[in-house]
């Protein structure tokens, strides 16, 4: 890249969102030393209302709509999102130009007194923002009292450490990106708590017509992460669920054989029934794998949980 060009990066106002956006900006500056990255902060509906449970205000799309509108209006060139917050059916004229920087995809428990999930007292109060987590927690510990938890990651951690809750369940990626890993009581194994599709990965979104921005950020796209999250999001889409549905999925390449393994889950929010599926497919056809696993889950009755 010659000369000096400017790229406007849209971000939510939270400390985590800005840190993620700055990581993208640093990677772009490393690839293009002449690039001037300008951070543009945009408040979303999810940031303005931090009390109402997400399913009641439109699911995780409330964190992305304002950024997407700014892209379409030409106010920013790219938007940086936590991929798990992006609806699986994006608005027309927008594309995910890069999928990058997948951190630990697991969920974690942050507890007031260092409790693990199995050692939490009977009827302990646990905060979480996700129907997916609620369903899986109830299937493991039906005695727990679960309460909707909103707010920025650092605020939620303070609420757990300060005694508002006995514990909270939250994504590992956000905790680690904010340098709060020492607060984690337990990393929940994937066979106990399957993550949201795309959890831990960052997505860089652009207007489809903005070819210059798309070409710039393409250098950040990671093929393995892209294949994995494409399979996970195809699983969610195949079930007909949105970001707030009690659906989980995780995919990863299998060593050396050119295939991708996907685990998927759909559950009743009360935890009384959980449908689990798993399968492998070609690394080059992740969407087909996701759709096939969704069809398998539907044959086991998963559609009753995501309607």
Residues 302, 275 contacting (CB under 8 angstroms): yes
Cα distances (Å, whole numbers) of residue 91 to 23, 68, 82, 254, 271 = 25, 8, 17, 32, 33
Identify the helix (H) or strand (E) that includes residue 8. Answer: strand 5-11
Is 85 among the catalytic positions?
yes
pTM, two decimal places: 0.90
> Which residues 6+ apart lie within 8 Å of 79 measured at CB?
9, 10, 11, 64, 67, 68, 70, 71, 204, 205, 206
Query: What is residue 129's predicted lDDT score, i.e. its pLDDT?
Result: 82
Query: What is residue 2's predicted lDDT score, i.e. its pLDDT?
Result: 42
Residues 170, 195 contacting (CB under 8 angstroms): no
Active-site residue among 36, 77, 85, 104?
A: 85
Q: Which domains does the chain have, with CATH numbers?
A: 5-101+201-221 (3.40.190.10), 107-187 (3.40.190.10), 228-306 (3.30.160.40)
User: Helix, strand, or coil here: 109?
Assistant: strand
Identify the CA nearest to 248 among candidates 200, 185, 285, 281. 200
Query: What is residue 48's predicted lDDT score, i.e. its pLDDT?
Result: 47
Identify the helix (H) or strand (E) that includes residue 142. Answer: none
User: Helix, strand, or coil here: 147?
Assistant: strand
The tens place of each residue's pLDDT in the chain, 307 residues long, gives 444 589 999 999 999 999 999 999 999 999 999 899 999 999 765 554 455 444 444 444 567 888 999 999 999 999 999 999 898 887 889 999 999 989 999 999 999 899 999 999 999 999 998 999 999 999 999 999 999 887 889 888 888 888 889 999 999 999 999 999 999 999 999 999 999 999 999 999 999 999 999 999 999 999 999 999 999 999 999 998 776 789 999 999 987 778 999 999 999 999 999 999 999 999 999 999 999 999 999 999 999 988 6
Query: What is residue 4's predicted lDDT score, i.e. its pLDDT?
Result: 56
pLDDT per position as a tens digit, 198-236:
999 999 999 999 999 999 999 999 999 999 999 999 999
Query: What is residue 61's predicted lDDT score, i.e. its pLDDT?
Result: 55
pLDDT per position as a tens digit, 53-76:
444 444 445 678 889 999 999 999
Q: How big, in percent rounded to 5, are the helix, strand and coil portions of the chain? A: 35, 25, 40
Query: Phi, psi (5° rounding) for residue 178?
Result: -95, 5
């Amino acid at each position: 890249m010659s000369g000096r060009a400017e790229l406007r990066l849209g971000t939510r106002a939270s400390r985590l969102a800005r840190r993620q956006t700055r990581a993208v900006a640093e990677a772009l500056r490393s690839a293009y030393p002449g690039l001037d990255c300008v951070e543009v902060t945009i408040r979303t509906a999810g940031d303005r209302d931090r009390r109402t449970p997400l399913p009641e205000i439109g699911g995780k799309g409330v964190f992305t709509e304002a950024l997407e509108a700014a892209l379409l209006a030409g106010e920013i060139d790219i938007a940086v999102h936590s991929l798990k917050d992006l609806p699986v059916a994006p608005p027309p004229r927008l594309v995910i130009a890069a999928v990058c920087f997948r951190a630990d995809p697991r969920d974690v428990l942050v507890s007031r007194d260092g409790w693990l999930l199995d050692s939490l007292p009977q009827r302990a109060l646990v905060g979480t923002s996700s129907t997916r987590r609620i369903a899986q927690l109830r299937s493991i510990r039906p005695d727990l009292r679960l309460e909707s938890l909103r707010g920025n990651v650092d605020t939620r951690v303070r609420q757990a450490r300060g005694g508002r809750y006995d514990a909270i369940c939250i994504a590992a990626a956000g905790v680690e990106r904010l340098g709060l890993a020492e607060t984690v009581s337990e990393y929940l194994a994937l066979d106990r708590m399957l993550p949201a599709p795309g959890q831990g990965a960052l997505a860089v979104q652009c207007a489809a017509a903005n070819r210059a921005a798309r070409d710039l950020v393409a250098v950040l796209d990671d093929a393995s992460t892209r294949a994995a999250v494409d399979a996970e999001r195809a699983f969610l889409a195949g079930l007909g669920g949105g970001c707030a549905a009690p659906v989980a999925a995780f995919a990863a390449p299998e060593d050396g054989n050119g295939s991708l393994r996907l685990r998927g889950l759909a559950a009743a929010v009360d935890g009384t029934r959980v449908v689990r599926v798993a399968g492998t497919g070609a690394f080059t056809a992740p969407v087909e794998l996701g759709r096939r696993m969704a069809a398998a889950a539907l044959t086991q009755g998963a559609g009753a949980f995501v309607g």
